[in-house]
């Protein structure tokens, strides 16, 4: 039943299966790929769906702070609520990872609507640390 609700979609990245057909992702794997695709796409990249995606790239140069973490969490929640109707987003927690690398770890806790299956998706997001130089 859950596979019917979630459905199947082309695997990302695009590939072929052992039979030479286009590889498909199904179930929880398909949901995870769909959410990663939403978070990795910036609005305006898809000409036929110009609003599709998440504004995460707005924060690449923001530096690591609690304000940035809150803005990133809001951008993720807003994008997933709009573009992934098969899940209920329960929480988006953004934690500071490696400051030298500019890593923020985004932990998305969600429930698959049809099955009430609680799941997590961890998505790394890298900012460009300010090293004080002009380049």
Averages of pLDDT over each 10 residues, the chain, 135 residues: 55 70 71 92 95 96 89 97 96 89 93 91 87 56
Tell me how crowded residue 75 is: count the other CB atoms within 10 A of its CB: 21
> Domain 2-126 belongs to what topology?
Nuclear Transport Factor 2; Chain: A, (3.10.450)
Longest dimension (CA), the chain: 56
* pTM of the predicted model as reported, rounded to 2 decimal places: 0.80
Locate the domains of the chain by residue range.
Answer: 2-126
Q: 10 forms bridges with which residues in the sheet?
A: 24
Q: Tell me: the pLDDT tens digits for 29-59?
A: 788 888 999 999 999 999 999 999 999 999 9
């Amino acid at each position: 039943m859950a596979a019917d609700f979630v459905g199947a979609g082309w695997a990302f990245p695009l590939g072929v299966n052992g039979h030479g057909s286009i590889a498909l992702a199904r179930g929880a794997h398909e949901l995870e790929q769909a959410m990663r695709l939403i978070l990795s796409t910036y609005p305006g990249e898809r000409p036929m769906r110009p609003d599709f995606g998440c504004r995460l790239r707005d924060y690449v140069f923001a530096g690591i702070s609690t304000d940035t973490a809150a803005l990133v969490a809001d951008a993720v929640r807003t994008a997933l609520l709009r573009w992934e109707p098969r899940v209920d987003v329960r929480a988006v927690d953004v934690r500071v990872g490696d400051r030298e690398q500019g890593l923020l770890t985004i932990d998305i806790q969600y429930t698959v609507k049809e099955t009430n299956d609680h799941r997590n998706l961890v998505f790394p997001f890298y900012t460009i640390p300010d090293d004080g130089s002009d380049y």
